[in-house]
Amino acid sequence: MPRPVADGKIGSMTAFDVRPVTEDERRSTFDLLGRSLHSNRVSDELWSRFGVSWPAAHKFGAFDGDTPIGIASSFDTDITVPGGGVLPAAAVDGVGVRADRTRRGVLTELMRVQLADVAARGLPLAVLHASEPTIYGRFGYGSAALGKTIRVARPAARLHDRVPLAGEVRMLTPDEAVKEIPGLYHRIARRPGMIGRPPLWWPVMHDRLAGPDGDHVVAVHSGPDGDDGFVVYETVSRRSLEAPDEGAVLQVRDLHADSPVARAGLWRFLLSVDLVSAVHARHRPVDEPLSAMLTDHRHAATLAVEDDLWLRPVDVAAALAARTYRAADPVVLAVTDRLLPANTGHYEVGPDGARRTGAAADLTLDVDTLGMLYLGEWSATALVQAGRVQAGDPAAVARADELFTTIAAPWCGTHF
Ligand SMILES: CC(C)(COP(=O)(O)OP(=O)(O)OC[C@H]1O[C@@H](n2cnc3c(N)ncnc32)[C@H](O)[C@@H]1OP(=O)(O)O)[C@@H](O)C(=O)NCCC(=O)NCCS
């Protein structure tokens, strides 16, 4: 454990200490986070039920005296990487600084302490979703998996005749949704970029919405081998005095399927619900072939493609060694890491794996750009063109393209 205290005297304005959050400070740091994200205040009643999802473990606070002014929280999980390996990871799930103390280095100090802690505990990766894409690159995070927002027009959208039709969809009761979905997710979530959802994830992110007090709908697809996919969605009314007959919008919150057949079954179900004018889904996999599944692909409009998962290699050697690479001659990467300088060095990456090397570099990049390359979302060519990777020899860039490419686009698919 690093010494988690820093005197953050930035200019002459603010002094603060960064240290682990204690049990007694769980509520005040949670309220601070909520305020910084403009969330509604959590009542005592809600806190008594869901505060369990905000444990003191792995939380660092910035304090002015006893008063929290900043928070950086994470939970331990794992993540699937290309080739199917599963690596321990810190999922950064709550970051905020009080509005009257921003831009004085509070987050910078919190990130420094949090990353040192993650490294000291031996987790090779850290991941997060960013409220704003400009925040985390400076701390070594790269935009590693994208997600698309789609709107499917109802009732116009129809599935093509050749879309697989097999299996059954059944709606769950709220009690069943709480009981059955965690195990099902655990069984089927295997795409690179997907994270494990630990027990503390479920009460707030699923049970609150889909359980007895929630209003989300849950449906499960079953194939020949049992349950193999599920969808959680919310129904939002669009009726008004001006549009009394307007259908509702189904907003998909969570949709996971173990196979194309299960995915088709779930979308077939969503597109069959009556009195609906559109189905919306945010942060879907960029390669989900929904428009190709429709008779008229314009009925599935992609409204946005955004950063979904940000990834920070914390132990570059371990992270590079954990994924697989396609067949091509090796390349040598020269990686620079300002915050965790032990990572700075040369790494040979080839179909036989990855290791540190003293050989000359083919490609030079910062650790945040390695985060972009790691899951296969961005090609080396694109990153060279964007000026984020320097390379002398175009043949080395082509080899890096081949080595890092993945067939399925990486995708996280978990809110945290
Ligand atoms: C994002 C946030 C945590 C930043 O905290 P902070 O203490 O102001 O950050 P720092 O002072 O350490 O800033 C470090 C650097 O990042 C930049 N930066 C920080 N937040 C930024 C933002 N939202 N947009 C653009 N730049 C930002 C700062 O300008 C500074 O740049 P510099 O090093 O070139 O001077 C804070 O603004 C906040 O709480 N925002 C609302 C909640 C939120 O978005 N949380 C993140 C959830 S993922």
**Has residue 2 been placed in a domain?**
no
Query: Are 195 and 264 found together in one domain?
Result: yes
Same domain, 104 and 154: no
- At which of 286, 307, 328 does a domain end? 307
Q: Please, which residues have CB within 8 angstroms of residue 267's CB and are 6 or more apart in sequence? A: 159, 290, 293
Specify whether 75 is located in the same domain as 159.
no
In this structure, is residue 34 part of a structural domain?
yes
Determine whether 136 is an active site residue: yes
Residue 159 shares a structural domain with residue 299? yes
Q: Decide if 409 is inside a domain.
A: no
CATH number where 364 lies: 3.30.1050.10
| Residue of minimum CA distance from atom 22 in ligand 1 | 135
Q: Are residues 188 and 217 in the same domain?
A: yes
Strand order in the sheet with 331-336: 353-356, 345-350, 331-336, 363-366, 389-391
Nearest to 281 by CA among 260, 302, 308, 257: 302
Could you list the residue range(s) of the whole structural domain that residue 175 is in?
147-307
Spacing, Cα 96 to ligand 1 middle (Å)? 9
DSSP-derived secondary structure for 10-71 = BTTTB--EEEEPPGGGHHHHHHHHHHHTTPPPPPHHHHHHHGGGS-STTEEEEEETTEEEEE
Residues forming the annotated binding site for acetyl-CoA? Answer: 95-97, 103-108, 131-132
pLDDT at 262: 97
Q: In this structure, is residue 136 part of a structural domain?
A: no
Ligand 1, from 102, 127, 139, 308: best to mutate by most atoms within 8 Å of Cβ? 102
For 220, phi and psi rounded to 5 degrees?
-120, 140
Q: Is 233 a catalytic residue?
A: no
Q: How close is the Cα of 103 to the center of ligand 1, in Å?
A: 6
The domain total for the chain is 3
Contact 306, 147 (CB under 8 A): yes
Shared domain check, 300 and 155: yes
Q: Are residues 273 and 188 in the same domain?
A: yes
* Residues 290 and 159 both lie in one domain: yes
Residue 271 domain flag: yes
**Atom 31 of ligand 1: nearest residue by CA position:** 103
Tokens 């027990």 sit at which residue?
A: 199
Residue at a domain's end among 250, 280, 307: 307
Question: Which one of the listed residues 60, 136, 233, 374 is annotated catalytic?
Answer: 136
Claim to verify: residue 83 and residue 156 sit in the same structural domain: no
Domain at 99, CATH number = 3.40.630.30
For residue 10, being part of any structural domain is answered with no
> How far does residue 139's CA lie from ligand 1's centre (Å)?
11
In a domain, 131, yes or no: no
Which pLDDT score is estimated for 14? 65
Together in a domain, 263 and 326: no
b/e burial code for range 266-291 (CB count within 10 A of at least 16 → b): bbbbbbebeebbbbbbbbbbbebebb
Report DSSP letters for 344-368, one per residue. Answer: -EEEEEETTEEEE--SPPSEEEEHH
246 and 330 both lie in a single domain: no
Regarding whether 282 and 154 lie in a shared domain, the answer is yes
pLDDT tens string, the chain, 416 residues long: the values are 333 344 444 443 568 999 999 999 999 999 999 999 999 999 999 999 889 999 999 999 999 999 999 999 999 999 999 999 999 999 999 999 999 999 999 999 999 999 999 999 999 999 999 999 999 999 999 999 999 999 999 999 999 999 999 999 999 999 999 999 999 999 999 999 999 999 999 999 999 999 999 999 999 999 999 999 999 999 999 999 999 989 999 999 999 999 999 999 999 999 999 999 999 999 999 999 999 999 999 999 999 999 999 999 999 999 999 999 999 999 999 999 999 999 999 999 999 999 999 999 999 999 999 999 999 999 999 999 999 999 999 999 999 999 999 999 999 999 99
Q: Whose CA is closest to 392, among 415, 372, 362?
A: 362
Domain membership of residue 267 (yes or no) is yes
Question: What pLDDT shows up at residue 283?
Answer: 96
Going by the annotation, the residues of the binding site are 95-97, 103-108, 131-132
The last residue of one of the domains, among 123, 156, 184, is: 123
